[in-house]
Amino acid sequence: MLLVALTGGIASGKSTIARRLAEHGAVVVDADQVARDVVAPGEPALAEIAEAFGPGVIAADGSLDRAALGAIVFSDPEGRARLNAITHPAVLERSTRLFAEAGRADPEAVVVYDIPLLVEAGRADEFDLVVLAHAPAEVRRERLVDLRGMSPEEADRRIAAQASDAERFAITDLVIDTSGEERMTLQQADALWADLHRRAVGSAT
C-alpha cells in the first residue's frame, strides 16, 4: 500500500485531482468527511462536545449545531483548543482505520488522504508521499470570488486563515500546478497516478 497525502489551500483544485485519482482506482479518504463522521449522532466525540460546550450545541434532531458551536469557539482560542482536543484524536483514529482497511483489501492500493489542513494538523510524517495542489493566492482569490460568490474581503480572510504557501512547500514531495486550465491539471494528475501506481506495486513486492 502507498499512503499519499493530497493537500492544498482553499480553491487550489485539490478536489479535481482527488476525483481524477479516484477514477484511476485510488482509494480516496476525505478528511473533511471523516471530521463530519466522527461528530455524527451516536459518536463518542459528539457526546464529549456536548459535555464540554453545553446542550445548546446540539440541534433538535440530535446532530451537531455547527453554527452554535462556531459562535462559541470562533473568538475563543481556549474553546477552539478544547474542541480540537476532542475531534483531532477521533479523526486520527478513524482515518488510520480507513487506511488500514484499504491496505488489507489490496496490498497494492494507492490510498490518497484528501486533507486541506495537513500543515495545521502536523501529520505530514505519517505519509509515504505528500502531494501539493498549488495555485498562487491571487488565482485562488479570483476563483473564490468568481466561482463561489465570496466577497474579495471574505476570500482574503479564508486564504489568510490557512497555512502559507511556504509552509506547504516545506512538507511537500511533489507539486501539481493547478493555476492553468483544468485539462492541464488533469494531465498532471494522470501522470501522478502512473507514478503512484508504480510505487505502490513496488512497495507490495
Residues counted in the chain = 205
Domains of the chain, earliest start first: 1-26+109-205 (3.40.50.300), 38-107 (3.40.50.300)
Average pLDDT over residues 23-46: 97
Please name every residue paired with 6 in a beta bridge, in sequence order, or none if there are none: 114, 131
User: What is the Cα–Cα distance from 116 to 162, expressed in whole angstroms?
Assistant: 9
Confidence at residue 205, expressed as pLDDT on a 0 to 100 scale: 62
Lowest pLDDT segment from 54-63, 102-111, 130-139, 155-164: 155-164
Name every residue whose Cβ is closer than 8 Å to that of residue 61 and which is 6 or more positions away in sequence. Answer: 41
The three grid cell numbers given for residue 133, joined into one nine-digit string: 495542489
The three grid cell numbers given for residue 71, joined into one nine-digit string: 459562535
Q: What is the average pLDDT value for the chain, to the nearest integer?
A: 95
The three grid cell numbers given for residue 39, joined into one nine-digit string: 461528530
pLDDT over 90 (residue 161) = no
Confidence at residue 109, expressed as pLDDT on a 0 to 100 scale: 97
Average pLDDT over residues 107-131: 95
Name every residue whose Cβ is closer than 8 Å to that of residue 205 and which is 6 or more positions away in sequence. Answer: none
CA angle, 38 then 39 then 41, to 5°: 110
Average pLDDT over residues 23-42: 97
How far CA 153 is from CA of 23, 135, 164, 184, 191, in Å, comes to 36, 19, 18, 29, 36
Confidence at residue 115, expressed as pLDDT on a 0 to 100 scale: 95
Contact 100, 3 (CB under 8 A): no
Confidence class of residue 196 from pLDDT cuts 50, 70 and 90?
Answer: very high
User: What is the Cα–Cα distance from 24 to 164, expressed in whole angstroms?
Assistant: 30
Confidence at residue 74, expressed as pLDDT on a 0 to 100 scale: 80
